[in-house]
């Protein structure tokens, strides 16, 4: 029976809060806070009408450490679940330290003015959390998050050693709209337009964005083009599994999505540099965000499935073996349950699970933790029980590209 404070009121937060309310035996009291209190109230109303559970709401500017500390001290939660923008991770960690409360997030810190995802800023909090006897769990979403848990599970149960690891993220969802991003367009476009980077033989190998393409036949979706990309779990996987020779991340994009992206880049619409327009500064990507549909508006119109998993090749009892662990999630079923489609659902459920493991003491420790450092079994068990069932398949051969 635990009190939690959730910060942020987007799709991921909405899913996490709905799933927490469905597990009132674990989460006895939920407070939801964000910059715009009306967004929290809308989520609270949905939770009340679906599950009859009351949650508290509050307004908070998570960039403001003093205000966030005061809110934590007032709410007195056992855990702060940060589902706000990744720009705000550090200020919320500071507030947790000041208030003496554990911390969890789903995406690592990124500075506003450069498109860079690195753990260094958050890993720098290691000693402070350790000295305070507090736990910070980083990246408890799907990717990062479940993909690292899958890997840890493979290492614990399926393979004695891992040689190569490929993470495959497929969103087969279709909104029927010519162009829309599944989550915050600004974050989405920053990620997709970044250089590709993968880990090979102890070092990072970089390439131009979207230059390396393969086709893969995803169960529940069909054959899709997927592209080599940098994604943040590569950094923690490379750190915690130094024996893996090659770690790659692949994400699917349709030709139409890429066509739109190419044109928007060509004309300068994805730029984060301010430009002069009619006497004031405008940041093109912010204007683009205003033109595109709100990600939240896509929930009711998205059909199809996501399929995210990990393919690992290594040795088992001296024999080379390839295993594939993945989850398939249906957009319409996710929307029916929580009012949010599968991209939010697959991130929000693992946030709830990570929080549950922390507040029940199944995952505990002092300091800053990545998902790879913790026992995968209770997490894998909860995925099956809470809407993200997974399965293991043996593949005949490693990925041959």
| Least separation in angstroms between CB 291 and a copy of itself | 5
To a copy of itself, the closest distance from the beta carbon of 263 in angstroms equals 4
Q: How far is the CB of 264 from a copy of itself (least distance, A)?
A: 7
**Among residues 223, 268, 300, 389, which is the contact residue for a copy of itself, using CB under 8 A?**
268
Looking at residue 26, what DSSP letter applies? T
Residues touching a copy of itself: how many (CB under 8 A)? 21
Q: Is residue 67 a contact residue for a copy of itself (CB under 8 A)?
A: no
What part of residues 227-266 is at the interface with a copy of itself (CB under 8 A)? 259-260, 263-264, 266
What is the per-residue binding string for a copy of itself in 95-134, x denoting contact by CB under 8 A?
----------------------------------------
List 1, 124, 205, 275, residue binding a copy of itself (CB under 8 A): 275
User: Least distance in Å: CB of 115 to a copy of itself?
Assistant: 20
Angle at 27 between CA 39 and CA 31, to 5 degrees: 30
- Please, what's the b/e burial string for 207-243 (b: 16 or more CB within 10 A of its CB; e: otherwise)? eebbebebebebeebeebbbbbbbbbbbbbbbebbee
Measured CA to CA, the distance from residue 222 to residue 138 in angstroms comes to 32
As measured in angstroms, the least distance from the Cβ of 33 to a copy of itself is 25
The distance of closest approach from Cβ of residue 18 to a copy of itself in the complex, given in angstroms and rounded to an integer, is 31
Task: Tell me which residues in 164-183 interact with a copy of itself (CB under 8 A).
Answer: 178-179
Dist. CA 360–CA 1, nearest whole Å: 8
292 part of the interface to a copy of itself, by CB under 8 A:
yes
- Comparing CB distances to a copy of itself, the nearer of 201 and 276 is 276
Judged by CB under 8 A, the stretch of 243-251, 279-287, 354-362, 383-391 that binds a copy of itself is 279-287
Are 346 and 302 within 8 A, CB to CB?
Answer: no
Among 290, 319, 336, 397, binds a copy of itself (CB under 8 A): 290
Beta strand pairing call for 319-330 and 102-105: unpaired
- The SS3 call for residue 103 is strand
Residue 315 interacting with a copy of itself (CB under 8 A): no
CB atoms within 10 A of CB 249: 26
Phi then psi dihedrals of residue 220, to 5 deg: 85, -10
**266-272, Cβ contacts within 8 angstroms, sequence gap of 24 or more:** 270/189, 270/193, 272/113, 272/115, 272/190
Please count the residues of the chain: 401
Q: Which residues bind a copy of itself (CB under 8 A)?
A: 178-179, 259-260, 263-264, 266-269, 275, 277-278, 282, 284, 286-288, 290-292
């Amino acid at each position: 029976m635990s009190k939690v404070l959730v910060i942020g009121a987007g799709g991921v937060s909405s899913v996490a809060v709905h799933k927490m309310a469905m597990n009132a035996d674990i989460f006895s009291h939920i407070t939801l806070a964000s910059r715009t209190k009306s967004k929290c109230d809308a989520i609270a109303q949905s939770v009340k009408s679906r599950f009859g559970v009351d949650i508290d709401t509050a307004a908070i500017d998570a960039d403001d450490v003093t205000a966030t500390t005061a809110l934590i001290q007032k709410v007195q939660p056992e855990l702060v679940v940060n589902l706000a923008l990744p720009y705000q991770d550090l200020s919320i960690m500071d507030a947790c330290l000041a208030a003496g409360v554990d911390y969890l997030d789903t995406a690592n810190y990124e500075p506003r003015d450069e498109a860079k995802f690195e753990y260094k800023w958050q890993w720098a909090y290691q000693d402070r959390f350790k000295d305070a006897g507090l736990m910070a769990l980083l990246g408890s979403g799907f990717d990062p998050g479940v993909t690292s848990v899958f890997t840890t599970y493979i290492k614990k149960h399926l393979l004695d050693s891992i040689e190569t690891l490929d993470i495959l993220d497929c969103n087969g969802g279709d909104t029927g709209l010519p162009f829309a991003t599944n989550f915050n367009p600004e974050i989405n476009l920053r990620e997709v337009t970044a250089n590709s980077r993968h880990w090979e033989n102890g070092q990072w190998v970089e390439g131009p964005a979207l230059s390396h393409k393969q086709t893969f036949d995803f169960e529940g979706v069909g054959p899709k083009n997927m592209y080599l990309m940098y994604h943040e779990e590569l950094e923690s996987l490379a750190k915690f599994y130094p024996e893996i020779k090659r770690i790659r991340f692949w994400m699917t994009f349709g030709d139409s999505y890429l066509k739109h992206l190419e044109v928007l880049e060509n004309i300068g619409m994805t730029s984060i540099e301010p430009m002069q327009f009619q006497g004031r500064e405008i940041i093109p990507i912010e204007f683009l965000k205003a033109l595109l549909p709100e990600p939240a508006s896509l929930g009711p119109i998205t059909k199809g499935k996501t399929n995210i998993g990990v393919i690992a090749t290594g040795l088992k009892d001296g024999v080379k073996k390839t295993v594939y662990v993945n989850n398939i999630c249906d957009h319409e079923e996710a929307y029916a349950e929580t009012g949010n489609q599968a991209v939010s659902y697959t991130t929000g459920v693992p946030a709830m699970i990570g929080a549950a493991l922390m507040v029940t003491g199944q995952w505990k420790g002092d300091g800053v933790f990545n998902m790879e450092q913790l026992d995968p079994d209770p997490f894998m068990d909860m995925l099956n029980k809470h809407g993200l069932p997974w399965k293991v398949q043996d593949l005949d051969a490693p990925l041959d590209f």
